[in-house]
Structure 1
Amino acid sequence: MQIIPAIDLLGGACVRLHQGDYDQVTRFSDDPVSQALSWQDQGARRLHLVDLDGARSGQPINDAAVRSITEALSIPVQLGGGVRSAERAEELLGCGLERVILGTVALEQPELVVELADRHPGKIIVGIDARHGKVATRGWLENSDTEATALAASFSESAIAAIISTDISTDGTLAGPNLKALRQMAEASAVPVIASGGVGCMADLLALLALEPLGVEAVIVGRALYDGRIDLREALMGLGDGRLQDPPTGLLNDMA
């Protein structure tokens, strides 16, 4: 299972939000390029960027930082946040990003996502952020009545590369991922799922291995890496390619 470090950009700085609340911001670094290089040097094989300004306002405030990161790194970089048009997706791919993530537009204009995925095979990811099982949009500031699993299932016949499943209630809390919700998402989706939200320790990463056979192929980790609760090098050595020891006994039953 791949571990993907996250850098959340707000005003050009690396930050983390608590449960998506823009009023609860922790600032970690004013140099996102240096931080990105650090994750690469520690063995990351992919980097996840979130443009929080873009997610909230739709404005490309952090493009300079994004371009600097992609130019400095040799590993692939993916980005989400405020990608709400074909033009914007094309623009970001032109900045050197390997993949772009569409969230709000996946709910509001799913046909656009399908069209972009057909045009750019392997480069389009759908981001599904859920609050109590329902899809949240526009930087988690708006809630919908659409079930997250239903939205995931609707893209099963498309050419999207993956679905990033974020449980807002656990994001930034270090309280552990919502394993039950992730299992439901993986069962609903015919494309790979990337877990996001709540990882706070190595045990959380090991627990996610139980979902790998269902299609959860990677996990995005943010605050736990910045806080030092998880050492990236040690975590990569521990999980390897996902061929670790069997998951803890009874874990699958606990998630049923």
Structure 2
Amino acid sequence: MIIPSIDLLDGKVVRLYKGNYNNKKLYNSCPFELVKKYEKAGVKCLHLVDLSGAKNFLNRQISLISQIVSSTNMNIQVGGGVRTIKDVDNLFLAGVKKVVIGSMAVTNKIELKNIFQYYSSNMLVLAIDIIIDKKNKSKNVLINGWKSSTSLTLECLIDFYSDFGLKYVLCTDISRDGTLIGPNIDLYKEISNKFKLVNFQASGGVSSLKDIICLKYSGVKNIIIGKALLENKFTILEAINVSKKNNTLFRC
């Protein structure tokens, strides 16, 4: 499934380059107009990123998110600045269908374990943002809006939370995010093959319809697309249509 992404910083639509807040591009698009555009095209699920909340959890844009959710019938999943079970509660009260949790998976495992036990795993997405070590190929996890490195790997986190019913993982190779240089197809093939019970959402680098086709056959269940749509590399209808076609003869 194609999931458009809208990144929100201080109420405005932006895109960061490799997660760098000092290297951002502001778009003139109104978030509500984008939501209507995607819904009209037949989009079933939308991904919202609260960049203000990710940078400073005290600045989470709950009011704006609630207004966006109320304006559409699409299922909304939201990430950014989720640090406590209260944050999760507030997002569900705002009407979102899935909460995307990242840093807390590293900084507060006990709290997140309790959240998995309290809420259905169908309502939670574990966001794992990684940078791949060029020497040993380890998939190292970054947190706090990609500002802090950790000693944990993607595989370690998935193994840990699988014991609590983990079903959905949004995996981003941050070296690709916001770059339009293409997604890390080999990464998604590897993790989809290794963790067959996990529904992966691919994020980062999509720039062409060919990228969508290659991701479709990598094993991921959902493809999150942000900048390519804002930059008019292709339309949302083209993305949806190519994802539905049988392109098995296409060479990736």
Return the TM-score normalized by structure 2. Answer: 0.92
**More deviation, 20-29/110-119:** 110-119
Aligned partners of 2:72, 2:115: CA distance in 1, in Å? Answer: 25
8 Å contact kept, 2:101–2:127: yes
1:140 is aligned, of 141, 146, 154, to 146
Aligned partners of 2:105, 2:189: CA distance in 1, in Å? Answer: 21
What are the superposed Cα offsets for residues 199-240 of structure 1, whole Å, 9 maximum, x if unpaired?
Answer: 00000000012222xxx1001000000111021101211212
Aligned to 1:230: 234
Gaps of 5+ in 2: 133-138
Aligned partners of 1:61, 1:108: CA distance in 2, in Å? Answer: 18
What are the superposed Cα offsets for residues 70-97 of structure 1, whole Å, 9 maximum, x if unpaired?
Answer: 0001010000001010011011110000
Is 1:123 matched with 2:130? no
Aligned partners of 2:204, 2:230: CA distance in 1, in Å? Answer: 14
**RMSD between aligned alpha carbons?**
1.5
- Structure 1's 117 and 237: CA in aligned 2 closer, same or farther, altered over 3 A? same
Aligned partners of 1:188, 1:109: CA distance in 2, in Å? Answer: 26
% identical aligned pairs: 28
- Structure 1's 61 and 154: CA in aligned 2 closer, same or farther, altered over 3 A? closer
Any idea what SS the aligned residue of 1:146 has?
strand
1:248 is aligned, of 222, 230, 250, to 250
8 Å contact kept, 1:32–1:65: no
Aligned to 2:135: none
Output the amino acid matched with 1:135: V
Any idea what SS the aligned residue of 1:47 has?
strand
1:183 is aligned, of 189, 193, 200, to 189
Aligned partners of 2:249, 2:82: CA distance in 1, in Å? Answer: 36
Is 1:20 matched with 2:22? no
Q: How many residues end up aligned between the 2 structures?
A: 244
8 Å contact kept, 1:117–1:123: no
Q: Post-superposition, which runs of at least 4 consecutive aligned residues in structure 1 deviate over 4 A?
A: none
Return the TM-score normalized by structure 1. Answer: 0.90
1:218 is aligned, of 211, 216, 222, to 222
Gaps of 5+ in 1: 252-256
